[in-house]
Structure 1
């Protein structure tokens, strides 16, 4: 009986029931929030199922200023059209920004086509690059770092054209590279958040025992960390890799109010 419940949880509940975690950064509260962003990570798209359609509906209902996609959206070249299908479920007017994960490289994804798909859905693909966006007289800079283990992560290149703004978020798929970001951030550049994914929260977390974490995780598993005074959030993501199950690591998206 118990084993059946555990199996049901691992194969179905934790994979397909996506939790929504909301955070207020600094002294921000519901009445003070100036910019709202949603992090979507590690989709590993194999189909557009009902939970993903509900997720898109939820995002459209929240109406955030930005959707930030922190890598591993797809892991097989034949599934690239699924990303197009999923993005079209989200309101085109919502600004989106994406970075690459290791699987976009390991899956031999056509990056030019990927970039075109993102562009078609009002999404900027950032590879070692920073762009600034404006919302209601407030500016937010988004730095997108290339993947640490599949690509060529270069934070110094990524911030070469950084412009001072009201807020600054760094997107960095493999959280281990956050250690390097912390060391290489100039004193005159403030980072409000570093958002990562990659780990799937361990994907299989047996009451604190995690049999496997992928290369590039470092000491990070899930949730909040602080390193060199930088606030780092590691998302458990949505999809799965290698094994089609989750346990103790329920799928999630995160909403951040700045």
Structure 2
């Protein structure tokens, strides 16, 4: 099976595909298009009279020239303008490819993200690239990563197999954040770590102390197959919607379940929403899946996207 890396390389360089399409996929869709994907859902576990608006930011991959600090500032401004009750960030803040003119230090992009504001706060988890691009952590086999330190310094809590009880309008819910499932690169003589992930789903949900509904943040969506029905909603990123999506189908998806967990709203054991993300991984190319901020309204009508 062709990998996402090789597919994107092939697509970006495939002359017959058309120079104009390639130029659009490199210079227009990833950099100039930004939409808000809106989902209005009512999971069975969620009280019908409890409305909660969640703004979701995923897969920034901050770097010049593709995701500049100015671009991040625009994303922050547009997210704040949504007036969500809570903002969650799903990881992969650092660059995910080498075709950059500058790697933006974590302190810089985290400082900009510190401008996010919501009544119930801003909450974050880490993604695989936040771990992979930290050579010190990879060699040591343990964190914390530079990304986590920078986010926490900016006043944004980072969840790693942890959960927190929040309330709005006398309704309680739990926000749970799973440790990354692909945190460590495969073991080598330089990286002795044998276990790839730092995720512990049982420990995370074990911190939920009552029967209030649970929202789970998990960077990679595949864990949905193991998430119990106790969870009302899982929010994930990582896939970028395949980064190329044609007629609702992604040719290459970094998920063992393919297009089932590539993008959008589905239901496995719980409701799952997979964001198409904002930046690019492996290649600065997006086609048919423009960068997006996600706005989820729990307690509303069926899903829509605009």
Tell me if both proteins adopt one fold, taking TM over 0.5 as the criterion: yes
Deviation at 1:176, TM superposition (A): 1.3
The question of whether the paired residues in 2 share the 8 Å contact of 1:44 and 1:241 is answered with yes
Measure the CA separation in 1 of the matches of 2:147 and 2:159: 12
Structure 1 segments unaligned to the other structure (5+ residues): none
- The yes-or-no answer on 1:14 pairing with 2:29 is yes
Measure the CA separation in 1 of the matches of 2:28 and 2:295: 21
Measure the CA separation in 2 of the matches of 1:52 and 1:113: 18
Structure 2 segments unaligned to the other structure (5+ residues): 1-16, 44-48, 97-102, 138-142, 184-196, 299-306
Q: Could you tell me which residue of structure 2 aligns to residue 168 of structure 1?
A: 214
The question of whether the paired residues in 1 share the 8 Å contact of 2:79 and 2:293 is answered with no
Measure the CA separation in 1 of the matches of 2:249 and 2:168: 43
User: 1:149 aligns to what SS in structure 2?
Assistant: coil
Which of 39, 45, 63 aligns to 1:46? It is 63
Deviation at 1:73, TM superposition (A): 1.4
Q: How does 1:1-258 map to 2 (within 5 A)?
A: 3-16=18-31, 17-26=33-42, 34-47=51-64, 48-75=68-95, 79-91=105-117, 95-108=121-134, 111=144, 113-150=146-183, 151-164=197-210, 166-181=212-227, 185=228, 190-207=230-247, 210-214=250-254, 216-219=255-258, 220-228=261-269, 230-258=270-298
TM-score by length of 1: 0.84
Deviation at 1:153, TM superposition (A): 1.7
CA distance change for structure 1 residues 195 and 154 in 2, over 3 Å: closer, same or farther?
same
The CA deviation string for residues 223-247 of structure 1, in whole angstroms up to 9 with x for no partner, is: 111112x111111100001111101
The alignment's C-alpha RMSD in Å is 2.8
User: 1:159 aligns to what SS in structure 2?
Assistant: helix
Mark the structure with the bigger radius of gyration: 2
CA distance change for structure 1 residues 208 and 159 in 2, over 3 Å: closer, same or farther?
closer
State the aligned residue count: 247
User: 1:91 aligns to what SS in structure 2?
Assistant: coil
The question of whether the paired residues in 1 share the 8 Å contact of 2:162 and 2:176 is answered with yes
CA distance change for structure 1 residues 243 and 113 in 2, over 3 Å: closer, same or farther?
closer
Measure the CA separation in 2 of the matches of 1:90 and 1:113: 20
